[in-house]
Every structure is written in structure tokens, then in C-alpha cells.
Structure 1
Amino acid sequence: MNEPAATSDQIIDAAGGFWHQLDLTFRLMLLPSRINQIWTVLFLIVLAHLLAWLLAPRLRKWLRRRQGWPKWRLRTGLMVVQRLRLILFSAMAWTVVLVMRQITWPSLSQLIAEAATIATAILAIAFLARLIVNSLFRRVVRWAAWIWAVLYLLGLTDATYRLLDSLALGIGSFRLSLLTALKALAVITLLIAGSRLITRAVSRRLSTSASLTPTMQVLVTKLVQVILITLAFAIGLRAIGVDLTGIAVFSGAVGVGLGFGLQKVVSNLVSGIIILLDKSIKPGDVISLGDTFGWIDALGARYVSVVTRDGKEYLIPNEDLVTSQVVNWSHTNDFVRLDVEFTASCGDDPHKVSKIAINAALTVKRVLAQRTPVCWITGLEEGRIQYVLRFWISDAQRGLTNVRGQVFLALWDAFQDNGITIPFPQREVRLLNDDPSPPKFIAGD
């Protein structure tokens, strides 16, 4: 029963120490010799607000007229407009401090200097936080840095540390305080942010390497990301004194249970690794799976993004690409052969028809001239001859139906110009008996 009482006493003592330090800080600020400095700070705040109210609209109009500026410069200008009050206050406060220190004692401008320092720190943190892409993560980091900077500049960090350390949870010999948890969270956050920066740098570096295929670039990038994030969590847990051996045993047991419950998810993850390793598909390949035809936009851990010609984006599970029959139109090369079937009259010379069809196909821009089209007879029927025209293209991602349609139009125009007849089915109906009376049946027939 003594341990909870001791813990409560520690919390009360730490809270009392924090309040005493905070009270002392404010008492020093409100000394009679500093009243004039407080009024000066308030005056500078009001003046900065009025100046920002006048200058902000003009700056916004000026930014709208900047044509050709890169996005980062425009965003920086917008941030300057949004933080204009703080910028003006910091600039004016430091100007007052420098002037006063030249003509009077430094103590007479100490409070103004502290206010200027806090404003400058808040401003610097706001600009540096914009480097963080994730909005929620950026907001958390910004507010945490602001709070720590204000406490540090006011001399309240030691008292705050003692108060946070007194708020602890004990389980056996393990003790977890709020201070330790916040430190671990800060360490994990910084390490994860660093791992993302390193991953992006590695990805940019690999994208310029000609010796690695796009598939291997994606695989190496994801492996680096997984390793760095795992190390970040491991270091963060070690920072709060957690024994990783017990977690490894527990995670192994949990992993077995999750393996049965998340069988499809695990199968997609493993299939994704297989796809990256065997290089069967890669970003930019043109594939068809069932009724889906399009090009691969991105390889994900669980699915592959396939964009079709009509703008639809299909998220196909990796398992389907491993277990199903996939047509990769650009696996080893970009050349694709297409067939167009047509018929012509038996009265037209087949040699002439074949030559005209080949020349007509070559008039289509997407048909490759270096791989000469061919035209063969595939069948003979009553009054017509069946042909197949085969040609090659190298840009299947631009569609197949449209190039076939262009070739059919070229054939139609060429046949019209050269008098080639395209037969169509004809039926003749002959009436053998003009007597409309019904036939007579004779008994015994």
C-alpha cells in the first residue's frame, strides 16, 4: 500500500514544482520595471496586425500575377502571406531590441527580446514543418515543436520533465512514464520521417540506373522501406525499455493466427513479391486479363493498378496475376501482330487484291513498315475469297480496336479506288408452283 502513496506524492511534488516555476516566470515578467516592455510588445502585436491587414491583399494579388513560377516558390510566397503578422512582429521586435541595446541597458529590452525569440522560433518551426508531406503528421510535429520551444525559452523544461516523469505506470519491474513514452514517440516519428526521406532518395537514385529493370527498382525500394520502418519501431521500443525478445515470441504466435485469418491478404503479398522477382510484368506493360485490357500503372503490395483505354483503373489482386492466364503484350518486346479478315470477289485477281491490301495497311501511321504486312488466302467459298491481313504495331497501349478500324477504312478506300468488289450474301427465291390452292392429299399416301 505504500507504493501508490509514494507515487501520488511524487505527482503532487512535481506538479507543485511546475506551478512554482510557472508562477515565478510570470512574476518576473510582471515586475514594475518590465511593464513598459509589456506595453511595447502589445503595441507591436497590434501594429503587426494592422500592417498585415493592409499588405496581405496586395501580396496575394502580386502572387497571382506571377506566371511561370515553380510550385515550391508559390507555396513559399503563400506561407509568407499566411504568417505575415508573425513575420512583421518578429522583424519589428528585433529592430526595437537592437535599437534599445545601443542606447540603453540590455535589461530594459530583455522581455521584448524573449517575445521576439519565441515568435522567431514559432515562425521557423512553421516553415520547416512544411517539408513534411503528410498533413496530420506535419500538424502534430508543428504543435509539439511549438510547445517544446515555448517551454524551453521560458525556462520551464526541467519542471515539465519532472511532472511528465512522475506520471508513470508500473507493471512488475517495468515502469513506463509519460515522459519516456513521449520520447519514444518522438524518436519513432523522427526515424520514420528519416526512413521516408531515405526511401525517396534511394528510389530517385535507382530510377536513373540503367542496369536495373523497373521491377527490380520497385522491389529494392520496398525492401529498403520495410527494413527502415522496422528498425525505427525497434529503436523506439528499446528507447522505452521494452524487451524485444518477448515481443518476438508473442508476434510469432499472433502471426500464426493472422496467417489463417488473413490468408488472402498474405497470398496477395507473397504473389506481389513473386511478380517483382520473376519480372513477368512491370510498370508500363500492356496486359489483358479476362475482359480487362490496359497498361500497368503501378505495382502495389496487394494489387496491381491497370488503366484501360476508357480511363478506368482496375485494381487487380496480385494472386490473380500469378494463378490466372495473363496476356502480356509487351513482355519481351513491344511488337504486337494483329489480324484483319476480309473477303473479295472471285472475279478479282488474288495477287492484285493482296498487293492492294498490303499497300493500304502501310498507309496507317501506327502500322510498322519495317515489319512488312502480309496477306494470305484462308478460304474459298461460293462467289468470294477469304483473306487475312497481318500487320505489326509497337504501341499496344494506344489501343487495338482503333488501329484495326483505321486499317479497315484504308482497305475500303483502296478497294473503291481500284475497283475491287466486296461481295455480300445474295438470296434468290423462286416460286415453283403459282397455284395458291393447298395441295390435295390422297388416302394411302
Structure 2
Amino acid sequence: MKQTLLSSLITDLWSDLRDPGLLWQLSALTACLVLGWALGRILRGRLTAHDVQMRVMRLGVESFSRVLVPLVTLALIAVAKLLLQQSQNVNLLRVAIPLVGSFALIRLAFYVLRRIFARGGNAGSFLVTFEKVFATLVWCGVALYITGMWTDLLEYLDQVVLPVGRHKVSLLVIAQAALSVLVTLVVALWGGAVLEERLMRMDSVHSSLRAVAARLGRAILILLAVLISLSLVGIDLTVLSVFGGALGVGLGLGLQKIVSSYVSGFVVLLERSLTIGDVVTVDKYSGQITQINTRYTVLRGGDGIETVIPNEMLLSGTVQNYSLSDRILRLSTRVTVAYKSDVDLVLALLIDAAASVDRVLKDPAPHAFLMRFDADGFEMELGWWIADPENGRSNVLSDVNRAVWKNLQEHRIEVPYPQREIRLLDLPPAVENRVSRAMRATETQ
């Protein structure tokens, strides 16, 4: 009968229940668990501390802070096993090592997956389900390893051969290839997420350059992961030349718009003509830029509607940027007052109305002009400046118009409505008499 970890543990427990060696193993395991928890918490606090001198260390180690407790515990158990195996059996510690190691692997996988797919938000149902499936598979693998069935499973997978063209590939090779590809891609995505997070914290670098560097870094890491995984699988990279030719033909025929949007995205980010937070107008869409991706840019309008604009439109069309070099924006409104009004008083009232609104800047100050002599009265224009166009223009325009109307009403300034005089010429006497009587009746009413 083949000896396994589980059978060795059962035999050891059965034969050594009265042996002090078993108590030594239990004591060592308990001490390793307690010390591992304490040391892991201490190291995690040190690595996540905001200490300028530890930035280099934190760059590579802080990401593993959530798995420090099981990792430290695993190291302590391994050391205890090396010390005790010289004088007695250590089957209990041998079983504890894969259990603690699997727990560390599960926590590390959960952390990496949430770092990639659930940054800045809650994990989706698919991610939660995948994490449960992954944890189940890991625990099943540990159970197979402890019971000694892991070697039998590998031998069975190696014996099952599937025909692939003129070659035959075993299930074990296929599983190893899929696992290598999955691991390298996850590592590349995790590295890209960490790189993007680090770059976005560098306030000394322009936001567009940070976005370009983050996206280029992620693309390079994914490309390297694909090449490395293909090499691990055993695929000759020279066959990619055929795929490259087909891809070039596809780009030339049907993917011109997509490639143009990607290239335009990098151009926009590099030339820094648009940044996140700018208020722009593209075609018939206006809003604040909330995202600049390699293929599209997202505009959030004042009504909350988000518009996805291909980056190609940002280069081929005209873009009005209200905050490119200066965030100060001028707004204006017009009002017509009666000819009997005091022009100087009306201009002063308009300026006072604009100055009473909180969002209106005092420097430069609001200004008012007499624009023209309209058919119904003096046409006035009131202009003012704001420094926060991202907060919307309609609301401040409404506030200024309300203040203007209030001032004009308080000083009895008439805002005339269009009036027209109608004259009827060369009418028959009977018709003219009926019209005159009707007009007199209307005036009487």
C-alpha cells in the first residue's frame, strides 16, 4: 500500500498519542500560527506606513501585504519542521504546510483579481463566482495531494491523448499550457494595474502623460505575457508572421476607424490638448471630460448624460475647449428696456445684478453695454466671467437673469414687449365702420 501524507498522519497519531513528540508538533504548530499572525500584522503596518524612506521597499512588497500573515506562518512552520524532523516524526507539520500554503494562494489570487477587475468599486457577481470556483479547485487539489491521489491524477491526464492535427497532445500538456497562459496574463494585468495606480499618484507629471505611460505599460506587459506564455506552451513564435500579415490586411480593409481612434487617442494624450476635467464641445455634444481612453473619450453633460466620443472626432473635427489654457469663461445675456429709461442707471443695475451672484468673478468684473437701438427699446448686453465652467453654465445664467429682473422691477424699469400698429387702407365704408366699432369696443373693455 502506497504511503501518503494522510496515512502517515493517521499512523503517527494512532501510534504516538502518548508520545510527547506529538505534543511538540501541536505546540510548534500553535506557536507558528500565533507568531505568524502577530508578525504579519506588524509587517503589514510597517509596509503600509507613509514613510518616505520606505518607498522603494513598499513598491515591491506592499502589494503582498494582505497575504503576509499566511506567508509568515508558512515560513515559520517550515522552519519548525526542519528543526523537529531531526529527532522525531513531523507528519502533522507536513500536512499543515500545504493547508497554510493553499490559504495564502487563495488570498493572493483574490487580492490580484480584485486589484485588476474591481478597482474603485464592488466586485461583480461573475468575479465572486469565479473566486468561489477557484477556492474550491485549490482545496480539492490540496485534498488530492494529502490523500496521495494527486500523482495518480497527473498520470491519468498524461495518459489521455487527444489528436490535434498530425500530432497528439495529452490532457496534462493542455492543462499546463492553459494554466501558464492564464497565470502570465493575470500577472501582466496585475502589473499594469499597479503601474497605472503608481503613475496616477505622480502629481508632478501631467495627467495626459501619466495616462499614456500607463496604457503603454499595460500594453507592453500584455504583449510580453502573450509571447512568454506561447513560448512556455511550445508554440514557435515565427508562425506569428502569418498572423501579422492577416492582421495587416484586416486593418487595411475593415479596421481603419478603430485603428484611427486608437492612434488619435495616443496623439491627444501626448499633445495634451485635452485633459480630464476640461469642459469641451465636440460637434453637438458638450460636457466635462471624465475619461480619456485609447479608443474613446467620455463627456458628462450637465444633465448627467455621458457621451462616448471616438477619439478620431477629436482630431478630425473642431473641438471647443473652455479650459485649455485658462479656466475663466465669459457668459452674457441681453435685455431690452424702454426708450424712456435712464441708460446709465440701467447699466449700473445690470452690473450690480451680475455681481450679486456668487459664481460670478469680481476680477475681471461684470460689464454692461448699450448694443443697439432696437425697434422696441434699448438693447443692453451684460457680460460676466466664471472660473468653474465644469459646474454648468445654465444655472449661473438663470441666477443672473433673475437678479437682473429683480433689479429692474425694483427701479420700475420697463421691459417692453413687441408692439405693432396695424393700418387698414382703402376699405369700403361699411367694413371700415364695423372695424372701427370693434376696435372701440375692445379699447372700452
- Aligned 1:51-130 pairs, distance under 5 A: 123-130=103-110
What does 1:347-386 correspond to in 2, within 5 Å?
A: 347-386=340-379
Select 2:429's aligned residue among 430, 435, 439.
435
Q: Deviations over 1:295-352 (max 9, x none)?
A: 1111223221111122211111222222122211112221111121111222223222
Shift of 1:120: 5.4
Taking structure 1 as reference, are residues 170 and 351 closer, same or farther at Cα in structure 2, changes over 3 Å only? same
**The one of 231, 235, 245 aligned to 1:242:** 235
- Equivalent in 217, 230, 240 of residue 210 of structure 2: 217
1:424 equivalent in alignment to 2:417: yes
Conserved? CA contact 2:6–2:147, under 8 Å? no
Amino acid at match of 1:290: D
Aligned-pair CA distance for 1:368 = 0.7
Q: How does 1:218-367 map to 2 (within 5 A)?
A: 218-367=211-360
Which residue is equivalent to 2:400? 407
Distance 2:151 2:280 in 1: 63
What one-letter code is carried by the residue in structure 2 that aligns with 1:130?
A: F
Q: How far 1:283 sits from its partner (Å)?
A: 1.4
Partner of 1:190: 183
Q: Which runs of 5+ in 2 are unaligned?
A: 17-87, 118-126, 434-445
Give secondary structure in 2 for the equivalent of 1:298: strand
Q: TM-score, normalised by structure 1?
A: 0.68
Superposed CA offset, 1:202-256 (max 9, x none): 2222222233221111111110101101111111110121110121343233332
Q: Distance in 1 between matches of 2:144 and 2:336?
A: 87
- Whether contact under 8 Å (1:345, 1:384) holds in the other structure is yes
Instruction: Give the SS at the match of 1:130.
Output: helix
- Quote the residue 1:84 is aligned against: none
TM-fit CA distance, 1:141: 4.0
**Residue equivalent to 1:52:** none
Offset of 1:390 from its aligned partner? 1.2
Residues 1:394 and 2:387 are matched in the alignment? yes
Q: Which amino acid aligns with 2:355?
A: L
Distance, in Å, in 2 between the alignment partners of 1:222 and 1:427 is 65
Distance 1:423 1:229 in 2: 68
Structure 1 residue 33, shift from structure 2 partner: 10
Q: How does 1:170-189 map to 2 (within 5 A)?
A: 176-189=169-182
Does the C-alpha gap of structure 1 residues 296 and 262 become closer, same or farther in structure 2, counting only changes over 3 Å? same
Q: Could you list the per-position Cα deviations for residues 39-81 of structure 1 after superposition, in whole angstroms to 9, with x for gaps in the alignment?
A: xxxxxxxxxxxxxxxxxxxxxxxxxxxxxxxxxxxxxxxxxxx
| Aligned-partner Cα distance in 2 for 1:166–1:342 | 89
- Matched-pair contact (CA < 8 Å) for 2:5–2:148: no
1:418 and 1:352 mapped to 2: Cα distance?
9
In structure 1, the residue matched to 2:193 is 200
Tell me the alpha carbon deviations over residues 168-189 of structure 1, each in whole angstroms, 9 at most, x when there is no partner.
Answer: 4577997644333323332332
- CA separation in 2, counterparts of 1:350 and 1:36? 110
Give the secondary-structure state (helix, strand or coil) at the position aligned to 1:272.
helix
CA distance in 2, matches of 1:28, 1:311: 65
TM-score (norm 2): 0.68
Identity of aligned residues (%): 31
Counterparts in 2 of 1:236 and 1:316: CA distance versus 1, 3 Å: same
CA contact (8 A) 2:295 2:311 kept: yes
When structure 1 is superposed on structure 2, of 376-385 and 394-403 the one drifting more is 376-385
Deviation at 1:425, TM superposition (A): 1.9
SS in 1 for 2:429: coil
Alignment of 1:159-178 (within 5 A): 159-168=152-161, 176-178=169-171
Counterpart contact for 1:345–1:422, Cα < 8 Å: yes
Give the SS at the match of 2:211.
Answer: helix
Structure 1 residue 151 displacement after superposition:
3.0
Match of 1:152 in 2: 145
Q: What is the CA distance between 1:164 and its match in structure 2? A: 2.8
Equivalent AA in structure 2 for residue 220 of structure 1:
A
Contact map agreement 1:342 1:388 (CA 8 A) in 2: yes
Q: Offset of 1:263 from its aligned partner? A: 2.2
Equivalent residues, number: 355
> What's the Cα RMSD here?
3.8
In the TM superposition, residue 272 of structure 1 has moved relative to its aligned partner by: 1.5
**Segment drifting more, 319-328 vs 159-168:** 159-168
For the residues of structure 1 that align with 2:345 and 2:164, how far apart are their CA atoms? 93
Distance 1:415 1:398 in 2: 28
Q: Supply the distance in 2 between the matched residues of 1:30 and 1:400 (Cα, whole angstroms).
A: 75
Q: Distance in 2 between matches of 1:229 and 1:137?
A: 21
Contact 1:118 1:150 in 2 (8 A): no
- Contact residue 286 and residue 396 of structure 1 kept, 8 A: yes
* AA aligned opposite 2:245: G
User: Are the aligned partners of 2:265 and 2:293 in contact in 1 as well (CA < 8 Å)?
Assistant: yes
Cα pair distance change 1:218/1:31, threshold 3 Å: closer
Shift, 1:364, TM fit: 0.7
Instruction: From the superposition, tell whether residues 150 and 283 of structure 1 become closer, same or farther in structure 2 (CA, over 3 Å).
Output: same
Residue aligning to 1:43: none
User: Secondary structure of 1:164's match?
Assistant: helix
